[in-house]
Amino acid sequence: MANRLAEPAEPFVQEVTRVVGGVWGRHASRAYNWVNPATVAVGLGTIVWLLAIVRQIPCRRVPGVAVNDFYAQCYSDIPVLFVHRGLMDGYTPLLDAGAYPVLEYPALTGWLMELNRLVTGWLGAPVGPGLSDVDQASATNLFVAVNMVVLFVLWLITIFAQLGATRGRGWDALMLAASPCVVLTGLIN
């Protein structure tokens, strides 16, 4: 009995597989078995996230330099909430607001902000009332960097969740991993 390998059903896929060598034969070896949906999706997701970070560079806080975040097209709520909701002064979101408006975000988001504030302090950022402009800029930039790392981990978890949700169709995760929406909005809020 002959071992038949099925041709891809869609005409576009048939054409693409012809261009790159056709369907895998019975004696073909997969020398590049590391090229699978998970590695490609994580690689693309990482590149997309790095582009989102590069997009935020014009909005880094520099003492004595006013940046119009909207004009630079890199606005983010992350540094704004750090300064204007009391996180920089050491207040815990949802528990004590001091002279600041109460945080309007869900509880889990507030606790994630508190965790990021604590990590920022552990990394040496000055936190507390009465900071100089240099200390405020330094603390804000470090808080944004900590959020970028934490949100990147959550982004990877989202990609792996997509891979797990589409068993047998792993390449579908590339639609998520390569999304330009993440570059444009991944660090807004």
pTM of the complete model: 0.78
The span from the CA of 98 to the CA of 85, in Å, is: 9
Q: How far is CA 68 from the centre of its chain?
A: 23
pLDDT, one tens digit per residue, over 47-88 is 999 999 999 988 888 887 777 777 677 888 899 899 888 888
For the chain, what is the mean pLDDT? 83
The total of other beta-carbon atoms located within 10 Å of residue 77's CB is: 13
- 59, 40 in Cβ contact below 8 A? no
pLDDT at 9 over 50: yes
